[in-house]
Amino acid sequence: MKLVFASNNKNKIKEIQLLVPSSIQIVSLEDIGCTEDIPETANTIEGNAILKANYVTQNYGLNCFADDSGLEVDALNGEPGVYSARYAGEPKNDDNNMNKLLLNLKDKNNRKANFKTVICLNINGEQHLFTGIINGKIIEEKIGNNGFGYDPIFVADGYTKTFAELSIEEKSTISHRGIAVKKLVEFLK
């Protein structure tokens, strides 16, 4: 089975390919010749996943799935949430985003947060949503060189290492995206 993953984020594509069986071939936006920036104008993580999947289905007529993810911090009323990738503004910059988040949490004792991923699958004229959430906390400084986004400042509940200290294989088995992809794979089977 060939399935378009509506992303050009090479890190995400790598994570997803590790999680799906070899019988499912993941094809990127670049592979189908989609070079335009797909609008992410919804005000929810679910909404953005749906927008991206619908864009590919409507413009390319292909079965596909799209994801959107966000970091939701309790003490910041769920921020950065849907704006996680652009929290510190344009252009997207992981370090600037983390610095802004750490600054906004400076005087806060509650460091609880969660990563949330929603996958929207458009297949054979039907739409399905799969959600993955991992709870944890934001630490006070960046640790680790793996991963991307907020990985260097997020420690999942039950763990002592940040996502950026885990290998891609370790992270993908416990992460929000990993949980959502497992649900997607179960459905596809």
What is the Cα–Cα distance from 75 to 132, expressed in whole angstroms? Answer: 21
- 25-27 and 64-73 strand pairing: unpaired
Around Cβ 94, how many Cβ atoms within 10 Å? 17
Among 171, 121, 126, residue whose Cα is nearest residue 146: 171
Known catalytic membership, residue 67: no
> Annotated catalytic residue: which of 31, 37, 67, 68?
68
Q: What are phi and psi of 68, to 5 degrees?
A: -140, 145
* HSE, side-chain direction, 13 A CA sphere, residue 108: 18
Tokens of 180: 């959502």
Query: What secondary structure letter does DSSP report for 111?
Result: -
- The encoded tokens of residue 151 equal 């990985």
Q: Cite the active site residues.
A: 68
